[in-house]
Amino acid sequence: MTAMKKMKMNGKVALITGASSGIGAALAREYGRLGAEVVLSARRVDRLESLVEELEASGCSALAVPCDVTRDGDPERAVEAAIERFGRIDHVQANAGFGVAGWFHKLGVEDYRRQFDTNVFGVIRTVGAVREALIESRGCLALMGSVNSYVALPGTSPYSMSKHAVMALAGSLRHEFGVHGVSVTLVAPGFVDSEIRQVDNQGRHTGNTVDPIPDWLRMDAMTAARKIVRGVSRRRRVVLVTGHGKAIVFLQRHFPGFTEFLVRRVGVRGRKEPKGGVHRTGLA
């Protein structure tokens, strides 16, 4: 039997932000498959309710809670609903996020502020809301970073900055939460199948964008979710997802000059500027 087949999470409760699609929805399915009770939070309530029906049909207990991580009080309400329904929280996946793209001279301060409000302050709001519950359960906290936490690409400065900040936050919280028995994992995906490349710079889902990343380079969301849940359950410091993501981080760590050369050759090729949605060119 594989490690994943042996691992069970009966009696555990997982709370996932950004659970309406992509990696978030896949995480919900994976926790449900392993026997955990799942709390789904996101802005698109119809998507959440549909996923709850799917999970409950498979025998999993699930709860949908509307939550916008950019709004003060929303994460707290999600945590309160989870505690009221299930009595505890063991795993938290701070997954909600999107990407702002564009050459620096085409962006304004508001673009950076909008990016940080979701990807950084949204994570901070989530962590603040779940802290006491995780300390009580001595649970696991996962923060969604990116390969761009390690490698910044041209035309992705808002997104790359936000994911660098999440990596720093994970590093600090690993010490602060560790004394209470809570593990903190930075999740750093590369290209994964999701709707995130269909989201514009305003955070709006367009729904009509052809994914520019070739099929052979994208990892299936369920495969990514299995790797993430396994790593978080094992209380790893970092979970790098996708082979190309691991390769790029390795190059950045050991051959930064060569990595910079590659980025300039590939990322700035033709000096084409992104039209919006960091994941046209970004790494996660």
What would the pLDDT profile of 157-198 be if each residue is shown by its tens digit? 999 999 999 999 999 999 999 999 999 999 999 888 755 444
The residue-averaged pLDDT of 198-208 equals: 54
| Number of separate domains in the chain | 1
Residue 275, domain member (yes or no) = yes
Annotated catalytic residue, options 31, 112, 150, 159? 159
pLDDT of residue 167: 98
Residue 2, domain member (yes or no) = no
Residue 4, domain member (yes or no) = no
d(CA 103, CA 119): 19
Residue 110, domain member (yes or no) = yes
Residue 3, domain member (yes or no) = no
The residue-averaged pLDDT of 31-51 equals: 96
d(CA 87, CA 76): 15
The CATH number of residue 205's host domain is 3.40.50.720
d(CA 251, CA 119): 25
- Residue 178's domain comprises 10-280
> Which residue has tokens 């009221």?
84
Residue 78, domain member (yes or no) = yes
Measured in degrees and rounded to the nearest 5, phi and psi for residue 109 equal -60, -35
Residue 1, domain member (yes or no) = no
Q: Is 90 exceeded by the pLDDT of residue 212?
A: no
Instruction: Tell the burial category of 217 from Cβ atoms under 10 Å away from its Cβ (0-12, 13-18, 19+).
Output: exposed
Residue 159 bears catalytic tag: yes
* pTM assigned to the model: 0.87
pLDDT of residue 186: 98
Residue 5, domain member (yes or no) = no
d(CA 240, CA 218): 14
Within the chain, strands assigned E span 13-17, 37-42, 62-66, 91-94, 140-144, 183-189, 238-241
Nearest residue to 45 via CA among 92, 78, 14, 12:
78
